[in-house]
């Protein structure tokens, strides 16, 4: 039987988030950051990730919208001064490749996988977790732009079911996912209902990012909306990368 971790709480150590979550983030649990495309959801995810690493946790990155691990590495350093090389034994990456049949290990900390397939999704996460050093805090699986998987005609229903199951049945690991509501709004609502913790983003001109928490597992939280302290330039840079990736990847996914 899998080990079931007793739930604990950790502070994120960023004032604006700790104010919203005075008791901290429940661990293990599943968190979904939802909102329109281009509203900085993965950047908020990096806030959680940076603190998780600094508190001795391990992280598996599943960044569907980023072309390489380099962007994740440079963004964490740019935003929070986190050097991935300092956590070499605690970090692994899953690179999404819809053109391959299953999955393959690329290097000691990178797995390439066709995450459209539910079995491959599950196996690649299990394999990536095995690549990182385990700690008392556990492993966080941070997946961004998971809505891209829903563009597949063949696997849309089955991968949605698997994502829902992942959010609902987390017992040993902590999951942090971000999804865009710009397409498949009703499908995304299924994931919102499945998550233990639910957060929404929105953007105001000129490039002002806001976050609101609407649900958390067994902890108190503030329901007020706050502005996320990220610069206009950072938000613009992310938006450009995401839009470029969407244009490149969605036509390929739609054919599968």
CATH domain 27-254 topology: Rossmann fold (3.40.50)
In this predicted structure, the answer to whether residue 239 has a pLDDT above a threshold of 90 is no
Specify burial of residue 165 (Cβ count, 10 A radius: 0-12, 13-18, 19+).
middle
Instruction: Provide the CA 33 distance to its chain's centre, in angstroms.
Output: 8
Please give the residue that has the higher pLDDT: either 68 or 253: 253
pLDDT of 235 reads 85
Give the percent of the chain with pLDDT over 70. 97
Q: How far apart are CA 253 and CA 97, in angstroms?
A: 10
Q: How far apart are CA 114 and CA 123, in angstroms?
A: 11
Residue 36: pLDDT band with limits 50, 70, 90: very high
If one counts every other C-beta atom within 10 angstroms of the C-beta of residue 171, the result is 9
pLDDT of 1 reads 42
pLDDT of 240 reads 80
What's the whole-model pTM score? 0.94
In this predicted structure, the answer to whether residue 241 has a pLDDT above a threshold of 80 is no
Least confident of 37-51, 135-149, 237-251: 237-251
Alpha helices in the chain (DSSP H): 15-20, 41-54, 69-80, 118-131, 156-168, 185-194, 232-254
The stretch 10-38 carries a mean pLDDT of 95
Torsion of CA 16, 200, 24, 52, to 10 degrees: -90
Please give the residue that has the higher pLDDT: either 65 or 245: 65
pLDDT of 230 reads 87
Helices 69-80, 41-54: axis angle to 10 degrees equals 70
Token pair 């649990």 is found at: 29
Average pLDDT, whole number, for the chain?
Answer: 92
pLDDT in tens, 155-180: 999 999 999 999 998 778 999 999 99
Domain boundaries, the chain: 27-254
Helix, strand and coil content of the chain, in percent to the nearest 5, comes to 40, 25, 35
Specify burial of residue 48 (Cβ count, 10 A radius: 0-12, 13-18, 19+).
buried
Least confident of 59-73, 127-141, 194-208: 59-73
pLDDT of 67 reads 67
If one counts every other C-beta atom within 10 angstroms of the C-beta of residue 88, the result is 12
pLDDT in tens, 78-100: 899 999 999 999 999 999 999 99
49 Cβ neighbours under 8 A, 6+ residues apart: 59, 61, 76, 82, 140, 142, 176
pLDDT of 6 reads 64
């Amino acid at each position: 039987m899998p080990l079931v971790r007793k739930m604990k709480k950790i502070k994120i150590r960023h004032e604006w988030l700790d104010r919203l979550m005075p008791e901290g983030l429940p661990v293990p649990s599943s968190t979904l950051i939802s909102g329109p495309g281009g509203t900085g959801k993965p950047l908020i995810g990096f806030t959680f990730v940076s603190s998780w690493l600094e508190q001795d946790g391990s992280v598996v990155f599943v960044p569907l919208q980023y072309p390489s691990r380099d962007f994740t590495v440079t963004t964490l350093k740019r935003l929070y001064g986190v050097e991935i090389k300092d956590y070499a034994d605690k970090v692994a990456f899953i690179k999404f490749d819809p053109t391959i049949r299953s999955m393959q290990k690329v290097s000691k900390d990178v797995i390439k996988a066709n995450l459209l397939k539910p079995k491959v999704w599950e196996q690649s996460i299990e394999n990536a977790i095995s690549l990182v050093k385990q700690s008392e805090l556990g492993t966080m699986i941070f997946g961004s732009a998971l809505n891209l998987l829903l563009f597949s005609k063949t696997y849309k229903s089955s991968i949605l079911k698997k994502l829902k199951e992942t959010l609902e049945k987390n017992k040993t690991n902590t999951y942090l996912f971000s999804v865009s509501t710009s397409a498949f709004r009703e499908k995304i609502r299924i994931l919102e209902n499945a998550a233990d913790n639910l957060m929404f983003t929105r953007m105001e001109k000129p490039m002002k990012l806001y976050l609101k928490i609407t649900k958390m597992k067994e902890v108190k939280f503030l329901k007020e909306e706050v502005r996320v302290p990220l610069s206009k330039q950072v938000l613009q840079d992310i938006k450009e990368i995401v839009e470029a990736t969407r244009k490149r990847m969605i036509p390929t996914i739609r054919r599968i």
